[in-house]
């Protein structure tokens, strides 16, 4: 299948591209003779410049195509690579609609990412900005559920059946996100200006999800979310350096994703399709015949005949915001804002229907109807100022307050039908089991940051600051869970304090060094991976030894820890990176970058399994639970150990641009990211995967000016991905491929 | 609804007010845009006009070009809006002195703070947090990123396009975008400034937020914004970065660790229930780590929050 696809691509697409390019080239030569002024034309009182890049990709890739699509997703075909139109009014000319206009687009014709932009303005009347972006996301790489149905051969007296290996990701995504953002400012230079904005984001497409009802079944998840956002605002400038702003934001979310059973892999004796689950094929005793294809299930094991879920959700977020900013007082600038949100989520008609068998509870079918409501009341207030005390001394202050409260209710009415075999119809409907939940999540937070900055000399300045954050959190979940017979209801408070240091040094006019240090401590933490102690060190430097050379480097180290007994959280994110940009002449330039990053974390966990625990794990004491596992004299499954994760990553890149003659511009480069990380394996299907991988992308480019206004562009990009470890029972995920992009640029 | 109507009424009233104010703002002799203090105190006879500047600095004036928004402003005000002297100060003494460089404001001789004050004289309303931002505190001023005379991006007068401009200093961030899983910043789909406002915000790391003060992530990943009937509280209280590395990661879904069960166990482990209020609820691992439970999210699919399941199954 893969080879056929490549062959078809190589046969068909180059032909298309060659024809396209030949046509474009012919047109170019003809047009170039006609157009002696490729730098734009003057017409109707405007200077007009346009350009278009037409061409396409020729792609040959081999290896894992799902992985190629997940990481690269470029394919063969013609493209409108780029297009621009730029119009500016000539001095003195008057126009009704616009003085300036710019529109551009890129990537149309099949690339996973494409966009269009439009900017217009008319003197002091208005400014308009519009942006449309489209992103196709293909995701078929899932270490989390790796693999799905394993390659298992069953045999009984009726025959032999081998379940086909399911290699695709448990939660495969093939979605498209379309984002539109527009904004309009009326009278942008007046004392009062008015702003309006509208954004729309749609994400939709086929995806998969899963459900647990005895066994785990694959669900087809028809993803569709739509978000519309409107904004209206007024800016009033009562004094020269003072602006008062009022904005109203209205955000409307529509969740229309639906779920239906997928992954049928067996049948009942009546021929009715049935799913026996997807991540672990049930035992051979669950099948009465392997002579049929698919095999025939006995009907006495967990299985799904139908599973449907609908939960159309609507959420409205209206937000009022008032802002001010002023620097009219000498040496004192200040600003602040207050926002209030009163959001409501409504799910008026929840519906779920299950027809199958959960053997443990002898549930043969159920129908659930219900509704949900939740609100988000948010009040935020922020205020800050910058006060220049003397020529060398200034103080900054910022206070932030946020209080959000989210009450919620959920009502579900569950009507179940009992049964013990899928071949028999469900039993009579039982009385409805109605559950009503009343939940709450709220958090009130105050944060204050004050800093004193001192210009010690013409080449050195220092700052010292202090930050305090306090918060109170409340959580209620009224429904019990397997682990919590009475639900949850608790409050939580913490206080975090940090000292901030900063320095800016300019040892020479061409050398800048910035450093900062943040050292903090929290008296309490909400979750183990929120640090009690943290330090953040940053050092950045930029040096320009020559006007054409810039060298920069960064050391960034974020250290977290929580030494409480039973937590043992230790983490760091350290990076040491450097870059150089050399442009000794207009003819050639070199960009270099190198980075080493180490992301590490460890925390003490308990494990409910005797087979797969981290090295060094020890048995929990008798009678001390680890989830559902409790060690007894005869049964020992609860372990205590340290989970660890370490991802040291090397990154390097080089890019060279060489322009031997004005008409010819060439480029050559290479990017590489390699990680050699380690973590524990908690089940036999865990593999290191991308944690031990290399991703490299060498590239080359060439642009040749064929005639005034005409240029031929050619690009070669190579993408190579490989995993340097065992990949488990799924198909290898390595790939490599070449993307040749050929295009003709015409500017007029 | 009542609030909506009230808000719209306020907007309409202010619209009317705007129209009445517009004539005042654009009237003769008025500077329609804010100007530096120096300009405000200088008399009109100290200004010579940009045509005079062009007689000696023709190359500089040419570089401005028609696409420069400052040029547009100048045109819109018949040459009386933003001109050379709006930023460089009155030029008469400079001209009368035969081009005396000590008598004109030269930005290469100003401190970063002085440069910023000049720019913020007009742009302060758009960037109210700049002076308290990390950039300002680190001595990164307006002209560190913007070039008024010779920019590569006419819209924002940047010295280089994003993300290249940002990577010039943030060399530690660039590697993340070359990892196998990353937000498509280098591909041009999104910009650094979609999530960060380099001019400062009230949040750490110059992060933007949604209007209801949710994480900026929810602007695109709107299905995670909630509010949900059943919240996974850490999503709202600790933030997305508790589990995800937003720039890039070797791990699928930009997760902080490669094994999702380890990620979940980091909090849902009954090793020290006394230390954490909610650790008494989803106690430790409710299931073993055998093959049957390949990943927590196989069953707990709605892990960001659910409207129908208190254990995030649906």
ipTM of the complex: 0.90
- Dump pLDDT digits (tens) for A628-648: 778 888 888 888 888 899 999
Q: From chain A, pick out residues whose CB is under 8 angstroms from the CB of B145.
A: none
Res. A14 pLDDT band, cuts 50 70 90: very low
Res. B22 pLDDT band, cuts 50 70 90: very low
8 Å CB contact of A225 and B223: yes
B9 touches chain A (CB under 8 A): no
For the cut 90, the answer to whether the pLDDT of residue A39 exceeds it is: no
Q: In chain B, which residue's Cα lies nearest the Cα of A628?
A: B286
8 Å CB contact of A251 and B277: no
B110 is written with which tokens? Answer: 């100003």
Residue, of B286 and B3, whose pLDDT is higher: B286
- Of all helices (H) and strands (E), which one includes residue A161? strand A159-163
* Residue B42: per-residue pLDDT: 59
* Residue B220: per-residue pLDDT: 93
- Of all helices (H) and strands (E), which one includes residue A372? strand A363-388
* Residue A587: per-residue pLDDT: 92
Segment A323-351 mean pLDDT: 95
* Residue B290: per-residue pLDDT: 62
Interface test with chain B among A241, A321, A367, A399, by most B beta carbons within 10 Å: A241
B251 is written with which tokens? Answer: 């791990």
- Dump pLDDT digits (tens) for A496-508: 999 999 999 999 9
Min Cα separation B46/chain A (Å): 21
Question: Residues of chain B with pLDDT > 90: what percent?
Answer: 34
Residue with token string 């730098």: A39
A604 touches chain B (CB under 8 A): yes
A700 is written with which tokens? Answer: 């080359």
Residue with token string 């689950």: A277
Q: Average per-residue pLDDT in chain B? A: 79
Q: Which of B100, B256, B126 is nearest to A569 (CA)?
A: B256
Segment A339-362 mean pLDDT: 96
Q: From chain B, pick out residues whose CB is under 8 angstroms from the CB of A235.
A: 125
Lowest-confidence range among A53-67, A539-553, B1-15?
A: B1-15
Range 183-242 of A in CB contact (< 8 A) with B = 186-187, 189-194, 201, 203, 209-212, 216, 225, 227, 229, 231-232, 234-237, 240-241
Q: Average per-residue pLDDT in chain A? A: 89
8 Å CB contact of A246 and B222: no
8 Å CB contact of A243 and B125: yes
B241 touches chain A (CB under 8 A): no
Peptide bond just before A294 cis, omega within 30 deg: yes
Interface test with chain A among B122, B258, B281, B299, by most A beta carbons within 10 Å: B258
Sheet holding A266-267, edge to edge: A273-274, A266-267, A296-297, A287-289
- Dump pLDDT digits (tens) for B161-219: 899 999 999 999 999 999 999 999 999 899 999 999 999 999 999 999 988 888 899 99
Q: Which of B161, B178, B198, B174 is nearest to A556 (CA)?
A: B174
Segment A565-584 mean pLDDT: 94
8 Å CB contact of A352 and B227: no
- Dump pLDDT digits (tens) for B250-290: 999 999 998 888 888 888 887 776 677 665 444 556 677 66
Residue with token string 């490299």: A696
Lowest-confidence range among A253-262, A271-280, A365-374, B157-166?
A: A271-280
For the cut 80, the answer to whether the pLDDT of residue B80 exceeds it is: no
Segment A161-183 mean pLDDT: 87
Q: In chain B, which residue's Cα lies nearest the Cα of A675?
A: B250
Number of helical (H) and strand (E) elements in chain A, helices listed first: 2, 40
Angstrom distance (rounded) from CA A542 to CA A510: 8
8 Å CB contact of B190 and A133: yes
* Residue A34: per-residue pLDDT: 39
Min Cα separation B59/chain A (Å): 19
Q: Which of A208, A217, A130 is nearest to A172 (CA)?
A: A208
A258 touches chain B (CB under 8 A): no
Res. B6 pLDDT band, cuts 50 70 90: low
Q: Which of B197, B199, B192, B193 is nearest to B131 (CA)?
A: B199
Instruction: Answer for the pair A626, A617: CB distance below 8 angstroms, yes or no.
Output: no
8 Å CB contact of B298 and A170: yes
8 Å CB contact of B18 and A71: no
A101 touches chain B (CB under 8 A): no
Segment A398-414 mean pLDDT: 97
Min Cα separation B94/chain A (Å): 26
Q: Which of B261, A681, A629, A680 is nearest to A619 (CA)?
A: A629
Dmax (CA) of chain B: 87
DSSP state of A620: P
For the cut 90, the answer to whether the pLDDT of residue B301 exceeds it is: yes
8 Å CB contact of A376 and B259: no
Res. B30 pLDDT band, cuts 50 70 90: very low
For the cut 50, the answer to whether the pLDDT of residue B94 exceeds it is: yes
* Residue A141: per-residue pLDDT: 83
Res. A166 pLDDT band, cuts 50 70 90: confident
For the cut 50, the answer to whether the pLDDT of residue B21 exceeds it is: no
For the cut 60, the answer to whether the pLDDT of residue A248 exceeds it is: yes
A350 touches chain B (CB under 8 A): yes
Interface test with chain B among A459, A566, A592, A655, by most B beta carbons within 10 Å: A566
* Residue B296: per-residue pLDDT: 86
- Dump pLDDT digits (tens) for A298-323: 999 999 999 999 999 999 999 999 99
B220 touches chain A (CB under 8 A): yes
DSSP state of A331: T
Segment A493-520 mean pLDDT: 95
* Residue B9: per-residue pLDDT: 55
Residue, of A39 and A276, whose pLDDT is higher: A276
Angstrom distance (rounded) from CA A669 to CA A701: 9
Chain A / chain B CB contacts < 8 angstroms: 516
For the cut 50, the answer to whether the pLDDT of residue A26 exceeds it is: no
* Residue A177: per-residue pLDDT: 96
Q: Please state whether the predicted TM-score (pTM) of the whole model is above 0.90.
A: no
8 Å CB contact of A626 and B285: yes
Res. B66 pLDDT band, cuts 50 70 90: low
Res. A626 pLDDT band, cuts 50 70 90: confident
For the cut 80, the answer to whether the pLDDT of residue A42 exceeds it is: yes
Instruction: Answer for the pair A294, A269: CB distance below 8 angstroms, yes or no.
Output: no
Q: From chain A, pick out residues whose CB is under 8 angstroms from the CB of B282.
A: 481, 483-484
* Residue B291: per-residue pLDDT: 59
* Residue A520: per-residue pLDDT: 97
Q: From chain A, pick out residues whose CB is under 8 angstroms from the CB of B35.
A: 240
A101 is written with which tokens? Answer: 């206009």
Contacts of A7 (CB under 8 A, 6+ apart): none
Residue with token string 């009715």: A272
- Of all helices (H) and strands (E), which one includes residue B118? helix B112-123
For the cut 50, the answer to whether the pLDDT of residue B11 exceeds it is: no
Q: In chain B, which residue's Cα lies nearest the Cα of A457?
A: B111
DSSP state of A286: G
Angstrom distance (rounded) from CA A143 to CA A138: 15
Range 180-219 of B in CB contact (< 8 A) with A = 180-181, 184, 187-190, 202, 210-213, 219
Angstrom distance (rounded) from CA A63 to CA A44: 55
A481 touches chain B (CB under 8 A): yes
A619 touches chain B (CB under 8 A): no
A454 touches chain B (CB under 8 A): no
A542 touches chain B (CB under 8 A): yes
Q: Which of B136, B143, B183, B193 is nearest to B163 (CA)?
A: B193
B28 touches chain A (CB under 8 A): no
Instruction: Answer for the pair A475, A440: CB distance below 8 angstroms, yes or no.
Output: yes
Q: Pick from B24, B231, B269: which is nearest to A606 by CB?
A: B269
Q: Across-strand partners of A320? A: A248, A340
């Amino acid at each position: 299948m893969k080879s056929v696809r490549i062959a078809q691509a190589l046969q068909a697409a180059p032909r298309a591209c060659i024809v396209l390019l030949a046509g474009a080239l012919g047109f170019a030569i003809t047009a170039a003779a006609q157009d002696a002024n490729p730098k734009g034309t003057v017409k109707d009182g405007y200077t007009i410049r346009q350009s278009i890049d037409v061409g396409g990709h020729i792609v040959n890739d081999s290896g894992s195509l799902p992985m190629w699509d997940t990481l690269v997703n470029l394919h063969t075909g013609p493209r409108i690579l780029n297009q621009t139109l730029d119009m500016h009014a000539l001095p003195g000319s008057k126009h009704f609609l616009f003085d300036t206009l710019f529109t551009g687009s890129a990537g149309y014709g099949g690339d996973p990412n494409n966009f269009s932009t439009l900017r217009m303005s008319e003197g002091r009347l208005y400014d308009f900005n519009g942006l449309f972006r489209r992103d196709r996301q293909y995701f078929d790489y899932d270490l989390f559920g790796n693999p799905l149905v394993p390659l298992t051969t069953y045999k009984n007296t009726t025959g032999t059946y081998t379940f086909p290996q399911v290699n695709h990701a448990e939660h495969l995504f093939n979605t498209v996100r379309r984002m539109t953002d527009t904004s309009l400012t009326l009278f942008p230079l007046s004392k009062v200006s008015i702003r309006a904005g509208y954004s729309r984001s749609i994400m939709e497409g086929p995806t998969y999800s899963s459900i647990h009802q005895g066994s785990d079944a694959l669900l087809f998840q028809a993803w569709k979310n739509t978000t519309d956002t409107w904004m209206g605002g007024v800016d009033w400038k009562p004094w020269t350096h003072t602006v008062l702003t009022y904005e109203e934001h209205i955000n409307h979310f529509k969740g229309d994703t639906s779920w239906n059973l997928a992954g049928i892999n067996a049948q009942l004796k009546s021929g009715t399709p049935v799913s026996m689950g997807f991540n672990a094929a049930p035992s051979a005793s669950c099948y009465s015949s392997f002579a049929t294809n698919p095999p025939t299930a006995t009907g006495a094991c967990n299985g799904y005949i139908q599973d449907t879920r609908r939960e159309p959700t609507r959420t409205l977020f209206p937000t009022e915001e008032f802002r001010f900013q002023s620097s009219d007082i000498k040496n004192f600038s200040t600003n602040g804002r207050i926002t209030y949100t009163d959001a409501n989520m409504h799910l008026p008609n929840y519906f779920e229907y299950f027809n199958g068998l959960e053997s443990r509870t002898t549930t043969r079918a159920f129908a659930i109807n219900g509704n949900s409501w939740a609100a988000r009341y948010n009040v935020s207030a922020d205020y800050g100022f910058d006060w220049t005390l003397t020529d060398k001394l200034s103080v900054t202050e910022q206070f932030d307050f946020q209080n959000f409260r989210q009450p919620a209710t959920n009502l579900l009415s569950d009507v179940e039908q009992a049964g013990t075999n899928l071949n028999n119809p469900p039993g009579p409907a039982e009385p409805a089991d109605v559950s009503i939940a009343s939940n709450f999540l709220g958090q009130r937070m105050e944060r204050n940051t004050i800093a004193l900055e001192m210009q010690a000399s013409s080449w050195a300045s220092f700052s010292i600051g202090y930050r305090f954050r306090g918060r109170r959190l409340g959580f209620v979940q009224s429904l019990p869970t397997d682990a919590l017979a009475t639900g949850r209801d608790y409050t939580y408070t913490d206080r975090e304090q940090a000292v901030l240091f900063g320095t800016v040094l300019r040892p020479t006019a061409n050398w800048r060094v910035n450093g900062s240090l943040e050292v903090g401590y929290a008296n309490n933490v909400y979750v183990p991976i929120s640090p009690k102690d943290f330090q953040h060190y940053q050092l950045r430097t930029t040096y320009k030894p020559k006007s054409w050379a810039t060298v920069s480097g960064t050391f960034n180290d974020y250290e977290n820890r929580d030494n409480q007994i039973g937590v043992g959280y230790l983490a760091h994110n350290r990076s040491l990176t450097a870059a150089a940009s050399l442009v000794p002449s207009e003819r050639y330039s070199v960009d270099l970058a190198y980075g080493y990053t180490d992301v590490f974390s460890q925390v003490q966990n308990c494990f409910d399994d005797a087979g797969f625990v981290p090295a060094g794990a020890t048995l929990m004491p008798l009678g001390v639970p680890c989830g559902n596992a409790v060690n007894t004299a005869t049964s020992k499954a609860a372990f205590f150990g340290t989970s660890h994760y370490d991802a040291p990553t090397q990154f390097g890149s080089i890019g060279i641009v060489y322009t031997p003659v004005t008409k010819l511009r060439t480029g050559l480069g290479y990017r590489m990211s390699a990680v050699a990380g380690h973590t524990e394996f908690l089940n036999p299907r865990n593999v290191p995967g991308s944690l031990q991988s290399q991703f490299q992308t060498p590239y080359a480019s060439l642009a040749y000016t064929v005639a005034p206004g005409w240029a031929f562009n050619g690009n070669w990009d190579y993408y190579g991905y490989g995993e340097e470890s065992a990949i488990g029972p799924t198909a290898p995920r390595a790939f490599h491929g070449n993307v040749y992009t050929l295009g003709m640029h015409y500017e007029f | 609804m009542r609030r909506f109507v009230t808000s719209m009424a306020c907007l309409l009233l202010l619209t009317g007010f705007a129209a009445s104010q517009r004539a005042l703002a654009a009237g003769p002799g008025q500077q329609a845009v804010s100007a530096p203090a120096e300009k405000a105190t200088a008399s009109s006879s100290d200004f010579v006009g940009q045509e005079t500047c062009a007689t000696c600095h023709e190359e500089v004036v040419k570089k401005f070009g028609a696409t420069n928004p400052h040029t547009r402003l100048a045109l819109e005000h018949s040459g009386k809006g933003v001109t050379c002297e709006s930023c460089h100060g009155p030029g008469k003494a400079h001209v009368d002195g035969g081009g005396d460089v000590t008598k004109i404001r030269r930005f290469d001789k100003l401190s970063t703070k002085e440069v910023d004050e000049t720019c913020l004289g007009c742009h302060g309303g758009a960037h109210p947090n700049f002076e308290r931002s990390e950039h300002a505190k680190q001595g990164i001023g307006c002209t560190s990123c913007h070039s008024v005379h010779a920019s590569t991006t006419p819209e924002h007068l940047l010295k280089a396009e994003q993300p290249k401009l940002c990577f010039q200093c943030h060399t530690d961030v660039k590697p993340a975008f070359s990892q196998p899983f990353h937000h498509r910043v280098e591909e041009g789909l999104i910009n650094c400034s979609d999530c960060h406002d380099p001019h400062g915000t009230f949040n750490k790391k110059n992060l933007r937020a949604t209007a209801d003060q949710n994480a900026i992530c929810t602007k695109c990943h709107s299905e995670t914004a909630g509010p949900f009937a059943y919240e996974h509280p850490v999503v709202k209280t600790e933030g997305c970065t508790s589990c995800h590395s937003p720039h890039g990661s070797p791990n699928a879904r930009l997760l902080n660790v490669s094994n999702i069960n380890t990620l979940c166990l980091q909090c849902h482990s009954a090793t020290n229930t006394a230390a954490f209020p909610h650790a008494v609820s989803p106690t430790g691992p409710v299931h073993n780590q055998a093959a049957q439970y390949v990943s927590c999210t196989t069953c707990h699919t709605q892990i960001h929050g659910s409207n129908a399941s208190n254990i995030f199954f649906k």
